[in-house]
């Protein structure tokens, strides 16, 4: 009985599945499962069409008073003015039109009277309208109670709804102004309920612009807040914390251990009231633990979170250094911990961490985990009187056993201590920074990490396993940062759940202190790749949805159920209701901590960074270099002019990029431009071998140009890149999965051309090392740019021999070429490449950060490697080698375009949207500028 330890609403589904054999069971239970845990968003199972989209564009058709009957058969109770949910019950034995009425908690209250249920069933089943209810006088009814229903739907469905109701003798009251937002309607007497409606404003519909500005206003005073309490990190934290990090720590610890009543809840005469829905219950709502740390990039969220994990290690107490020392010093870290390879999620893994089993997507509700045995499971039907009561389930217990380890008690759902911190780098945080700016799915996924702790066993005391889920791109950053910030004498079991030989042993995993994994690993098990064809809503809708999934993860009642979120916050906000906007703001204030780089603490800026000075160094090519440059340029120019004449510039975009790339390479060093073969050959006329070679070259161009290194399917950096015959590059596993699932007529996700596995061309093994050697064999020569660099470096060394510099280029071969003169001039340097294994990276960073004499003063950094989350605070100078502007070259033209764009951005903030053809024209013009056409 896999679903037994889910909460009421799922339990209710289980019951209906048993009694009625509901065919949709597998569909909505899996959805319900995700929404219970808020992982939905991260597993990309959201955006199921036909739900949100319908609700977001809905208008109010009108209202109707009806009756709820059969109250005495159910336990669900309702207060005056409390919202209720109407739910179809197509498998009801007595009436296939049955419509259930549930309270906010999901407990059934009764049914809609059958005469009304008949048209309602038709309307609901055909999705003509969403029907919502509020019970005006709910408290004292023994047999029936009135319910005020609102019908929301698309304008085009309005007449059908009115007609159907009329057929059955019902007539909608037209929407009154004060019931505009679906609650706080006209029948509410003066005393009742919170003042949701804003009659004065409700009449006028906000324009999109007005809504945007209202929405932006919400976030203005969010930055500076009274979250000023500071807290020292535990001993185990090896890095001193900055004041704002101590504040973050204090705030997070207080949120982790919060005993406060959650937001929107009040205690009144021994009852707990939800002020949004008017729901009340005797039981205290669960504490909302955790929140959103939405600081700007670079303020040290990762460090703050590590500090949190160590400081609030278990039961609000820190990880004790002494204990760990004596206990575990002899323990050798599991060598698997730092292995990073492609892999799949297992049920066992999540189970071990206290997530409920993922179950099957069929009606089979047995857990698929062989070593989890049901220990006891009781369903008691308490028929104390003639009236049946809702069945109650005892919490099931599970025993996790494995061959080698002793059995231990395991309470999956209940032991989850639900404390979590959500770190946001570019997702919701960027929505906070600029809420109405477009939020790409891609950006959204980039930095978000979810930190979730789980108790290791069911005793109250004792350590927890902390699960960190983050994108692959920052996984290594997390590992680095743990290395950096935990005192070296502290031994923590950190396990990276990634790689084909990862341990699936629940006993092993549960023994870990920290487990790191990625969204993709989590998601891969579901084979969900529908993200390719997303229906993107408006930015505000998206950020509201993002927020909902976070809230759902935090388990803030009643928002775990999307309906209540939608009715109380999302729709009012989308309709521009002031009350809704206010509620949203207090919500965000309550659960997020956000500082920007310009935030201040006690009058001082959060981060005192030295002023950034940018110098543009101009370089003149030697005559020799200029000659080569000109000849390649002329050749390229000729080809591109031909494309212009044919009107096929954009069709040959890769070739154009290739020309530009070669020119940029020539600005750096003549040896960089190895492949001078002209771009004029046509793919269509080649032999298979030639075709293959061309595709490989194209792929290398894409990979080295730095313009787009991400797979459009997984949105992560390319893993085993392959190129299709239509010249698009994806991760091999990603595209293979697409082909597999679309058989037999798979199409390219980007251009819909035909796809075949045997047509995929793999990238030959990383040439860099071997070609490096080749270039080493070739006689080394300098270049104007290298000369300029060396001149600057030597100058700098004269002023201060200890100064540390970063030398950044996207061309790794260029970095290799720079190594020679560095050695000759006696510089000690280190290097960081994207392809370097994790261990080497850590070594390179550590030696560079070292301030002792003789430590490297220069780090050669490839752009790809330097992209994400590197702490290279030792450096005070950065040399960006490309561009490092060569006069009269493509680089100067690049600079011109950059400046022009900057002016545009600064000048016309009212950025009018460019049409697709305008975008094209801009691109064409840019190409013209670059190549002097």
Partner DNA sequence: ACCGCCGGGTGCC
Q: What are phi and psi of 115, to 5 degrees?
A: -60, -40
Q: How far is the CB of 113 from DNA (least distance, A)?
A: 4
**Closest CA relative to residue 36, chosen from 545, 546, 413:** 413
Cβ closest to DNA, residue 142 vs residue 908 = 142
The helix (H) or strand (E) run that includes residue 304 is helix 301-311
CB 777 within 8 A of CB 671: no
Report how far apart, in Å, the C-alpha atoms of 239 and of each of 300, 310, 516, 605, 692 are: 11, 12, 21, 20, 51
Please identify which residue in 92, 320, 368, 820 interacts with DNA, judged by CB under 7 A.
92
Q: How far is the CB of 567 from DNA (least distance, A)?
A: 24
Q: How far is the CB of 123 from DNA (least distance, A)?
A: 15
Residue 95 interacting with DNA (CB under 7 A): yes
Which of the ranges 107-115, 197-205, 569-577, 588-596 carries the binding residues for DNA, by CB under 7 A? 107-115
Which of the ranges 65-73, 252-260, 638-646, 711-719 carries the binding residues for DNA, by CB under 7 A? 65-73
Which residue, chain included where needed, has tokens 């309702």? Answer: 78
Please identify which residue in 4, 44, 86, 98 interacts with DNA, judged by CB under 7 A.
98
Cβ closest to DNA, residue 72 vs residue 325 = 72
Q: How far is the CB of 91 from DNA (least distance, A)?
A: 11
Query: What secondary structure, in 3-state letters, does 188-219 show?
Result: CCCCCCCCCCCHHHHCCCCCHHHHHHHHHHHH
Q: For residue 744, is the peptide bond before it cis, meaning its omega torsion is within 30 degrees of 0?
A: yes
Angle between helices 623-646 and 916-931 (to 10 degrees): 150
CB 855 within 8 A of CB 828: yes
Cβ closest to DNA, residue 69 vs residue 353 = 69
Q: Residue 492, CB half-sphere, CA atoms under 13 Å: how many?
A: 28
Rounded to whole angstroms, the Cα distance separating 443 from 430 reads 9
Q: How far is the CB of 71 from DNA (least distance, A)?
A: 8
Which of the ranges 91-99, 294-302, 773-781, 902-910 carries the binding residues for DNA, by CB under 7 A? 91-99
Q: How far is the CB of 114 from DNA (least distance, A)?
A: 4
Q: How far is the CB of 460 from DNA (least distance, A)?
A: 41
Cβ closest to DNA, residue 97 vs residue 596 = 97
Which residue, chain included where needed, has tokens 């791109």? Answer: 473
Return the C-alpha torsion angle 37, 41, 47, 48, nearest 10. -30
Rounded to whole angstroms, the Cα distance separating 333 from 488 reads 13
Q: How far is the CB of 98 from DNA (least distance, A)?
A: 4
Contact positions with DNA (CB under 7 A) in 233-262: none
Please identify which residue in 30, 79, 97, 813 interacts with DNA, judged by CB under 7 A.
97
Contacts of 32 (CB under 8 A, 6+ apart): 6, 9, 10, 13
Cβ closest to DNA, residue 110 vs residue 119 = 110
Cβ closest to DNA, residue 145 vs residue 353 = 145
Q: What are phi and psi of 717, to 5 degrees?
A: -70, 155
Q: How far is the CB of 19 from DNA (least distance, A)?
A: 11
Q: For residue 197, is the peptide bond before it cis, meaning its omega torsion is within 30 degrees of 0?
A: no
Rounded to whole angstroms, the Cα distance separating 556 from 196 reads 20
Contact positions with DNA (CB under 7 A) in 108-127: 110-115, 117
Hey, how many other C-beta atoms are within 10 angstroms of the C-beta on 369?
20
The helix (H) or strand (E) run that includes residue 65 is strand 59-69
Cβ closest to DNA, residue 68 vs residue 860 = 68
Q: Residue 458, CB half-sphere, CA atoms under 13 Å: how many?
A: 14
Please identify which residue in 6, 17, 69, 661 interacts with DNA, judged by CB under 7 A.
69
Cβ closest to DNA, residue 111 vs residue 698 = 111
Q: How far is the CB of 69 from DNA (least distance, A)?
A: 4
Angle between helices 158-167 and 114-125 (to 10 degrees): 150
**Contact mark string toward DNA, 835..854, x via CB under 7 A:** --------------------
Please identify which residue in 20, 26, 57, 70 interacts with DNA, judged by CB under 7 A.
70
Cβ closest to DNA, residue 113 vs residue 339 = 113
Cβ closest to DNA, residue 77 vs residue 340 = 77
Q: How far is the CB of 8 from DNA (least distance, A)?
A: 19
Please identify which residue in 50, 94, 613, 615 interacts with DNA, judged by CB under 7 A.
94
CB 279 within 8 A of CB 105: yes
**Closest CA relative to residue 495, chosen from 509, 476, 477:** 509
Contact positions with DNA (CB under 7 A) in 129-158: 142-144
Cβ closest to DNA, residue 137 vs residue 653 = 137
**Contact mark string toward DNA, 365..394, x via CB under 7 A:** ------------------------------
Which of the ranges 106-114, 538-546, 685-693, 858-866 carries the binding residues for DNA, by CB under 7 A? 106-114
Q: How far is the CB of 144 from DNA (least distance, A)?
A: 7
Q: How far is the CB of 92 from DNA (least distance, A)?
A: 5
Cβ closest to DNA, residue 113 vs residue 223 = 113
Q: How far is the CB of 148 from DNA (least distance, A)?
A: 18
Q: Which two tokens stand for residue 470?
A: 């983050």
Which of the ranges 67-75, 131-139, 721-729, 777-785 carries the binding residues for DNA, by CB under 7 A? 67-75
Q: How far is the CB of 112 from DNA (least distance, A)?
A: 7
Q: Which two tokens stand for residue 78?
A: 């309702």
Q: Can you give the length of the chain in residues?
A: 933
**How many chain residues touch DNA (CB under 7 A)?**
19
Contacts of 805 (CB under 8 A, 6+ apart): 793, 796, 857, 858, 859, 875, 876, 877, 878, 879
Which of the ranges 9-17, 90-98, 684-692, 829-837 carries the binding residues for DNA, by CB under 7 A? 90-98
Binding site for DNA (CB under 7 A): 69-70, 72-73, 92, 94-95, 97-98, 110-115, 117, 142-144
């Amino acid at each position: 009985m896999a679903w037994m330890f889910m909460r009421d609403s799922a339990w209710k589904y289980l019951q209906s599945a048993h009694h009625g054999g509901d065919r949709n069971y597998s569909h909505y239970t899996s959805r319900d499962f995700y929404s219970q845990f808020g992982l939905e968003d991260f597993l990309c199972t959201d955006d199921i069409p036909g739900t949100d989209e319908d609700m977001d564009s809905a208008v109010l058709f009108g209202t109707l008073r009806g009756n709820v009957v059969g109250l005495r058969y159910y336990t669900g109770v309702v207060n005056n003015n409390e919202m209720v949910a109407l739910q179809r019950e197509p498998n009801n034995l007595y009436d296939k039109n049955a419509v259930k009425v549930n309270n906010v908690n999901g407990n059934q209250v009764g049914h809609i009277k059958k005469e009304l249920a008949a048209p309602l069933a038709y309307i609901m089943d055909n999705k003509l309208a969403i029907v919502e209810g509020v019970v005006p006088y709910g408290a004292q009814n023994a047999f029936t109670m009135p319910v005020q229903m609102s019908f929301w739907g698309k304008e085009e469905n309005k007449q059908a709804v009115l007609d159907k109701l009329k057929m059955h003798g019902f007539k909608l009251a037209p929407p009154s102004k004060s019931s505009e937002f679906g609650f706080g309607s006209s029948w509410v007497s003066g005393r009742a309920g919170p003042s949701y409606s804003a009659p004065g404003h409700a009449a006028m519909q906000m324009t999109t612009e007005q809504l945007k500005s209202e929405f932006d206003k919400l976030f203005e005073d969010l930055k500076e807040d009274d979250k000023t309490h500071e807290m020292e990190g535990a001993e185990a934290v090896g890095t001193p914390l900055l004041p704002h990090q101590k504040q973050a720590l204090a705030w997070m610890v207080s949120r982790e251990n919060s005993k406060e009543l959650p937001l929107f809840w009040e205690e009144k005469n021994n009852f707990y009231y939800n002020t949004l829905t008017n729901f009340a219950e005797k039981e205290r709502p669960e504490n909302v633990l955790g929140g959103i740390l939405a600081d700007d990039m670079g303020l040290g969220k990762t460090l703050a979170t590590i500090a949190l994990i160590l400081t609030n290690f278990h039961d609000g107490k820190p990880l004790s250094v002494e204990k760990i020392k004596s206990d575990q010093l002899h323990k050798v870290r599991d060598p698997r911990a730092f292995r990073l390879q492609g892999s799949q999620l297992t049920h066992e893994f999540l189970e071990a961490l206290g997530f409920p089993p993922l179950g099957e997507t069929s009606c089979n509700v047995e857990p698929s985990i062989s070593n989890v045995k049901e220990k006891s499971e009781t369903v008691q039907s308490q028929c104390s009187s003639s009236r049946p009561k809702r069945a109650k389930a005892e919490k099931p217990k599970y025993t996790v056993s494995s061959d080698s380890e002793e059995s231990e008690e395991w309470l999956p759902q209940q032991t989850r201590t639900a404390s979590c911190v959500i770190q946001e780098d570019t997702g919701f945080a960027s929505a906070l920074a600029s809420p109405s700016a477009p939020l790409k799915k891609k950006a959204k996924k980039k930095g978000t990490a979810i930190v979730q702790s789980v108790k290791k066993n069911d005793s109250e005391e004792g350590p927890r396993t902390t699960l960190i889920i983050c994108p692959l791109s920052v996984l290594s950053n997390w590992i680095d940062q743990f290395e950096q910030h935990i005192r070296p004498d502290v031994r923590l079991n950190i396990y990276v759940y990634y790689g084909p030989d990862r341990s699936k042993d629940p006993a092993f995993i549960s023994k870990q202190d920290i487990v790191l994994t990625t969204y993709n690993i989590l998601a891969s098990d579901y084979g969900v790749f529908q993200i390719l064809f997303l229906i993107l809503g408006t930015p505000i809708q998206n950020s509201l949805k993002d927020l909902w999934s976070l809230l759902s993860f935090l388990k803030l009642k009643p928002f775990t159920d999307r309906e209540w979120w939608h009715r109380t916050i999302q729709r009012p906000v989308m309709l521009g209701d002031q009350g809704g906007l206010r509620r949203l703001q207090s919500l965000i204030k309550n659960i997020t901590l956000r500082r920007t780089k310009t935030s201040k603490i006690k009058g001082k800026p959060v981060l005192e960074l030295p002023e950034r000075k940018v110098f543009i160094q101009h370089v003149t090519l030697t005559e020799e270099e200029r000659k080569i440059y000109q000849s390649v340029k002329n050749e390229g120019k000729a080809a591109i002019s031909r494309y212009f004449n044919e009107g096929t510039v954009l069709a040959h975009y890769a070739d154009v990029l290739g020309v530009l790339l070669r020119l940029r390479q020539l600005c750096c060093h003549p040896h960089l431009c190895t492949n001078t073969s002209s771009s004029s050959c046509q793919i269509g006329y080649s032999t298979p071998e030639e075709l293959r070679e061309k595709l490989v070259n194209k792929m290398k161009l894409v990979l080295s140009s730095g313009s787009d290194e991400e797979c459009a399917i997984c949105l992560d950096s390319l893993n085993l890149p392959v190129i299709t015959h239509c010249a698009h590059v994806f991760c091999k596993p990603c595209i293979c999965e697409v082909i597999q699932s679309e058989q037999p007529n798979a199409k390219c996700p980007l251009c819909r051309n035909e796809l075949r596995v045997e047509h995929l061309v793999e990238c030959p093994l990383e040439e860099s090392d071997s070609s490096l050697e080749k270039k080493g064999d070739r006689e080394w020569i300098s270049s104007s740019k290298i000369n300029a660099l060396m001149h600057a470096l030597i100058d700098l060394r004269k002023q201060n021999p200890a100064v540390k510099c970063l030398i950044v280029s996207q061309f790794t071969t260029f970095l290799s070429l720079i190594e020679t003169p560095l050695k000759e001039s006696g510089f000690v340097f280190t290097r960081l490449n994207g392809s370097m294994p994790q261990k080497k990276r850590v070594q390179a960073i550590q030696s560079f950060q070292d301030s002792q004499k003789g430590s490297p003063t220069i780090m050669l950094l490839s752009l790809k490697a330097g992209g994400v989350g590197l702490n290279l605070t030792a450096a005070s100078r950065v040399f960006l080698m490309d561009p490092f502007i060569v006069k009269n070259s493509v680089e100067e033209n690049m600079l011109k375009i950059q400046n022009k764009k900057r002016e545009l951005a600064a000048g016309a903030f009212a950025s009018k949207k460019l049409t697709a053809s305008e975008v094209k024209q801009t691109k064409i013009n840019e190409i013209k500028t670059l190549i002097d056409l």
